Structure 1
Amino acid sequence: MQPATDLISPLDYLAQDAVMARLIQETPSPKIFNDYAGDVYLALLESIVSQQISVKAADAIFSRFRQLFADGYPHPNELLLKSADELRSAGLSFQKIKYLQSVAGFSLANPMDRAHLDPMTDEEIVQYLLPIKGVGRWTVEMLLMFVLDRPDVFPIDDLVIRQRMLLAYPEQTNGLTGKALYKALHQIADAWRPYRTTASRYLWRWKPL
């Protein structure tokens, strides 16, 4: 594809890939919402609470966690003053408590506001936030897509994305594993630049027939 993206809409641009055109036609438009209004700190806390548990359980625990604070907001200095027993009362594991404290400590020493992050590239933001315990590349990529509204993120480490791409592009991925598969997936996704976030949203919502 040619990068003349200002001449056509993102969906028309993606539809130049015949497979993606079919996915878009078969799939209702993904809902775009941002519960955190760019609040990276709060989004990271919620992401850590959500790790390896159901959405229902995560919502309940995060709600109880926020109720531990007078105004319902876990300000980093207040979070660091909470005892392990207080935080455990919300349903948090000791490991997640350490991770939440790591986010709070990082935020006190390093700016996490939009004014600081917006000038950075996607990869610069990934590298900036990776030192936080409990935060990996996938976590930051979700933040880039759903909190910072970055348009060209391709979360290849997301299992659903890989599974859907295998189903959608069998000829390009058949029999491939490991590095060879990752290379093929990146090559497929290169055709979606600079709208890989939109393509990923459709892949998540697409229901293979």
Structure 2
Amino acid sequence: MQHEFYWNPPAPTDLPGMLKRMRSAGQDVLYRLGENGLQKALSWDGRPVLLTVQEEGTVTKPCWHIEVAGPELPPDWQERAIAYLSHVFCLNFDLPAFYQFCRQHLPLAALVERFYGQRMILEPTLYEAAISSIIAQQLNLSFCAQLKRNLLVRCNCQWHWEGVDWLLFPEPQQLVRLTAEDLRLLKFSRSKAEYVLGVAQATATGQLNWSKVETMPEQEAMSYLISWRGIGRWTAECILLFGQGRSDLLPAADIGLRNAVGQLWGLGRQATEAEVREIGEGWRPYRSWVTHYLWLSLTENSGKDL
């Protein structure tokens, strides 16, 4: 079964630019990424579906050709596809208002012109953001992607559709069937294996309540997340940033962000965490988005994709 439709997401939206960033950031583990489109297997109420998106418009007038295919599609398949894409690509965020803010604050004004239409790219759920953020702790992007792929294959989270095997992210109940030794064989450190399984177990039992986290104010959500073993401040910030797209978080300890602030604010060195927090006070209520654009600036300065 297959259905398709055309949809005009909010402008500006630079899907090809975001896909380029996803490829270089190792996010092709669960996505198949082209120059102007993507494919991803999703699970809707336990039923696998394949989502295909192709950009047929421009940054200022985006037009997405969307297909949803699978052995059985729910009646609200179109609404679900739009909801998924709106979340993952932060399409409900008022990007023009953010740009207006940045144009009044140097050196942010130049950044939004260089990366016009770039939106944050999120994980589908807070749970998935938590597992991914723990895996990413103190690792480079390529090894992080390798660990994630190893985990998905080990959990046997694959769906065969029309001659192609598609990976799906494991549900907590699937993940807790593994042991720390199983993950050690996949090149996880012992501590990281225990952290991942601990979060999966707490999620499976309902002790770690992600629906509750969604409605908490930032500081309350941070305190709640940090109370769980394996989640420190940086990881908690990443969970809320990449799992929910909260717009005013500042992961000031992040090395990349400190490098970008040091470069663009003319410090001649890496900024300290305290300096980032002080400078970042002027970025409210958009600290997450300024952080995103500063990360993008590192790709241009290094001559490499992020």
- Structure 2-normalised TM-score? 0.56
Q: Distance in 2 between matches of 1:177 and 1:148?
A: 27
Q: Distance in 2 between matches of 1:176 and 1:48?
A: 25
Can you give the 5+ residue segments of structure 2 that lack an aligned partner in the other structure?
1-93, 158-167
Q: Distance in 2 between matches of 1:69 and 1:25?
A: 43
Matches within 5 A, 1:21-32: 21-32=109-120
Q: Distance in 1 between matches of 2:189 and 2:129?
A: 18
How far is the alpha carbon of 1:177 from its aligned partner?
7.7
Q: 1:177 to 1:51 in 2, by over 3 A?
A: closer
Alignment match, 1:112: 209
Alignment match, 1:18: 106
Offset from partner CA, 1:132-168 (integer Å, 9 cap, x none): 2221111111222222010111111111111211222
Q: Distance in 2 between matches of 1:20 and 1:78?
A: 44
Equivalenced residues, count: 195
Residue 42, structure 1, aligned to residue 128, structure 2:
yes
How far is the alpha carbon of 1:176 from its aligned partner?
10
Alignment match, 1:66: 152
Picking from 191, 199, 203, the partner of 2:294 is: 203
Would you say the 8 A contact 1:151–1:197 is kept in 2?
yes
Q: Distance in 2 between matches of 1:194 and 1:201?
A: 14
Would you say the 8 A contact 2:120–2:289 is kept in 1?
no
Q: Which has the higher strand share?
A: 2
Would you say the 8 A contact 1:167–1:208 is kept in 2?
no
Quick one: higher RCO (CA 8 Å, sep 6+), 1 or 2?
1
Q: 1:169 to 1:53 in 2, by over 3 A?
A: closer
Q: Distance in 1 between matches of 2:182 and 2:276?
A: 45
How far is the alpha carbon of 1:174 from its aligned partner?
7.5
Would you say the 8 A contact 2:180–2:194 is kept in 1?
no
Alignment match, 1:3: none
Q: 1:128 to 1:19 in 2, by over 3 A?
A: same
Would you say the 8 A contact 1:80–1:104 is kept in 2?
yes
Q: Which amino acid aligns with 1:125?
A: A
Q: Distance in 1 between matches of 2:101 and 2:142?
A: 36
Q: Distance in 1 between matches of 2:192 and 2:149?
A: 15
How far is the alpha carbon of 1:17 from its aligned partner?
0.9
Q: Distance in 2 between matches of 1:168 and 1:29?
A: 21
SS state of the match for residue 113, structure 2?
helix
Q: 1:29 to 1:203 in 2, by over 3 A?
A: farther
Q: 1:176 to 1:95 in 2, by over 3 A?
A: closer
Q: Which amino acid aligns with 1:140?
A: A
Q: 1:146 to 1:73 in 2, by over 3 A?
A: closer
Residue 190, structure 1, aligned to residue 281, structure 2:
yes
Picking from 175, 183, 189, the partner of 1:87 is: 183
Q: 1:176 to 1:66 in 2, by over 3 A?
A: closer
How far is the alpha carbon of 1:118 from its aligned partner?
2.2
Q: 1:176 to 1:150 in 2, by over 3 A?
A: closer
Q: Which has the higher helix share?
A: 1
Residue 132, structure 1, aligned to residue 228, structure 2:
yes
Q: 1:9 to 1:78 in 2, by over 3 A?
A: closer
Can you give the 5+ residue segments of structure 1 that lack an aligned partner in the other structure?
1-5
Alignment match, 2:242: 146
Q: Distance in 2 between matches of 1:88 and 1:208?
A: 37
Q: 1:186 to 1:61 in 2, by over 3 A?
A: closer
